[in-house]
């Protein structure tokens, strides 16, 4: 929306004391946004909104993605020791060498990648900062950036702040896959980047090799850079396999791979992220990082380095335990009449409201569920910028059994109340 024109009461630069002039200046601008509209016009993120409601109403929180256990004790003990006995001043800008080495060897051992820790790894304050560094460090004004919807909430504002022009590709339930025709429609001669979140939040999809090969083919043919948000790379279940796009033919020099210790170790508040990219790209990423946060807490970096070197058991057990929690939530919800979509990775599964006999849209259902039944969830439409899918609700299963059981009971209550308010026969026919 265009702001109304500024009506100056008087020139801010004439007469009066400095303070008077400042007041007059502010009055003159009161109808005009003082801040960058990209950020001024944003709502609070859906994750914060729903967690805020859950706190306020004492609800079971299956919304925002965080485990409700405290995380691996040995790694936390390491961090505590590093705070008390370690080095607590600025670490090197690109990260502690021991952590950069540990990240490079972790990706070598688990994903078959050969990365040079000194010229290809940068440590950031979470994947959020890594994404910001990639967008600000690489995008030039006017560059088109292909992005998949539903889209993780930080991408679009940061792409726009960098001057990029997002080109959206809409993925649809239940499979959320992209096709050649969808990519052909999105890529133009101005495309310079594609952003891929794999495994994907909120859909729980782990993209198969064929889809990734197709995307890699487009990246090479259009000579563009892929920014790959792979924070969920370690949270993959059953027979699904995470394959990093950087490992596909032609992608090694044109991919920025982003990871997060928060997701690897279930320590979401730690905000220790990794950027892996060829030296030329790393140079620009590090230049952006040096003015975003400059460094990341050294004690947490030291603990993550130790964790990566001693995590074999954790990386085997964590996905197995999470898959069990996923099944507990999924089975419980199905018993209560919910239609549950498959989830191969991440902390999340989705329910289809229409297929569950609920006639509300996702946002209305989530507000109803938190207020009337005491359970918080995420409406997936909040993660679409245009033409939202409005019948899908995301639930976090990285929770103790008691939390999951309470969540199932409360969601069942929310469903029953919703069905009483709007009986299922009023529903439009299912596609």
Q: Which residues are at the interface with ligand PMP (CB under 6 A)?
A: 65, 126-128, 152, 197, 201, 229, 231, 260, 262, 268, 271, 273
Minimum CB distance to ligand PMP, residue 334 (Å): 25
C-beta atoms surrounding 242 within 10 Å: 18
Minimum CB distance to ligand GLN, residue 45 (Å): 5
Where do the DSSP E strands lie in 88-208?
A: 121-124, 144-149, 165-170, 191-197
Please name which of 408, 401, 314, 396 lies closest in space to residue 67, comparing C-alpha atoms: 396
Minimum CB distance to ligand GLN, residue 90 (Å): 26
Please name the residues in contact with 272: beta carbons below 8 A apart, sequence gap of 6 or more: 99, 123, 124, 125, 126, 260, 261, 262, 296, 297, 300, 301, 304
214/228 with CB nearer ligand GLN: 228
Among 65, 71, 126, 374, binds ligand GLN (CB under 6 A): 65
Q: Return the residue nearest ligand PMP (CB atom).
A: 126
Q: Is 315 in the site for ligand GLN (CB under 6 A)?
A: no
If contact means CB under 5 to 8 A according to the sort of partner, which of ligand GLN, ligand PMP, none does residue 106 touch?
none
282/381 with CB nearer ligand GLN: 381
Q: Is 124 in the site for ligand GLN (CB under 6 A)?
A: no
Minimum CB distance to ligand GLN, residue 155 (Å): 12
If contact means CB under 5 to 8 A according to the sort of partner, which of ligand PMP, ligand GLN, none does residue 101 touch?
none
257 in Cβ contact with 230 (< 8 Å): yes
Q: Is 234 in the site for ligand GLN (CB under 6 A)?
A: no
How far apart are alpha carbons 330 and 165 in whole angstroms?
38
| Whole-Å CA distances, 416 to 5, 35, 359, 379 | 51, 44, 11, 18
Positions in 172-211 near ligand GLN (CB under 6 A)? 201
**Vertex 62: Cα angle to 416 and 70 (nearest 5):** 150
Positions in 15-54 near ligand GLN (CB under 6 A)? 45, 47-48
Tell me the two tokens of residue 58.
Answer: 């004492």
Backbone angles phi, psi at 420, to 5 degrees: -70, -40
Binding site for ligand GLN (CB under 6 A): 45, 47-48, 64-65, 201
């Amino acid at each position: 929306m265009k702001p109304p024109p500024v009506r100056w009461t008087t020139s801010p630069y004439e007469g009066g004391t400095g303070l008077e002039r400042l007041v007059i200046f502010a009055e003159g601008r009161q109808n005009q946004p003082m801040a960058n509209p990209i950020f001024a016009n944003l709502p609070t993120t859906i994750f914060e909104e729903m967690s805020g409601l859950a706190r306020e109403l004492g609800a079971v929180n299956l919304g925002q993605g965080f485990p409700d256990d405290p995380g691996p004790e040995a790694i936390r003990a390491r961090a505590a020791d590093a705070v008390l006995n370690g080095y607590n001043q600025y670490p090197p800008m690109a990260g502690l060498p021991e952590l950069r080495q540990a990240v490079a060897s972790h990706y070598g051992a688990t994903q078959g990648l050969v990365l040079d820790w000194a010229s290809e790894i940068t440590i950031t304050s979470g994947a959020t900062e890594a994404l910001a560094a990639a967008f600000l460090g690489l995008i030039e004004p006017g560059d088109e950036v292909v992005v998949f919807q539903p889209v993780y909430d930080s991408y679009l504002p940061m792409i726009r702040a960098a001057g990029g022009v997002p080109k959206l590709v809409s993925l649809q339930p239940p499979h959320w896959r992209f096709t050649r025709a969808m990519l052909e429609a999105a890529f133009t001669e101005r495309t310079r980047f594609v952003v891929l979140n794999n495994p994907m939040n909120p859909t729980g999809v782990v993209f198969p090799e064929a889809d990734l090969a197709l995307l890699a083919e487009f990246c090479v043919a259009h000579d563009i850079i892929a920014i790959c948000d792979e924070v969920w790379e370690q949270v993959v279940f059953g027979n699904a396999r995470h394959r990093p796009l950087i490992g596909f033919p032609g992608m090694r020099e044109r991919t920025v791979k982003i990871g997060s210790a928060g997701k690897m170790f279930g320590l979401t508040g730690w905000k220790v992220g990794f950027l892996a990219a060829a030296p030329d790209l790393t140079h620009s990423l590090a230049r952006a990082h040096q003015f975003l946060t400059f460094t990341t807490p050294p004690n947490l970096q030291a603990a993550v380095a130790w964790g990566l070197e001693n995590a074999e058991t954790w990386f085997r057990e964590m996905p197995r335990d999470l898959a069990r929690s996923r099944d507990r939530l999924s089975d419980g919800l199905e018993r209560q009449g919910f239609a549950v979509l498959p989830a191969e990775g991440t902390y999340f599964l989705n329910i289809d409201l229409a297929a569950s006999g609920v006639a509300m849209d996702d946002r209305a259902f989530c507000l109803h569920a938190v207020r009337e039944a005491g359970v918080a969830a995420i409406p997936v439409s909040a993660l679409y910028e245009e033409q939202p899918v409005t019948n899908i609700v995301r639930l976090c299963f990285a929770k103790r059994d008691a939390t999951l059981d309470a969540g199932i009971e409360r969601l069942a209550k929310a469903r029953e109340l919703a069905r009483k308010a709007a009986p299922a026969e009023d529903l439009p026919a299912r596609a």
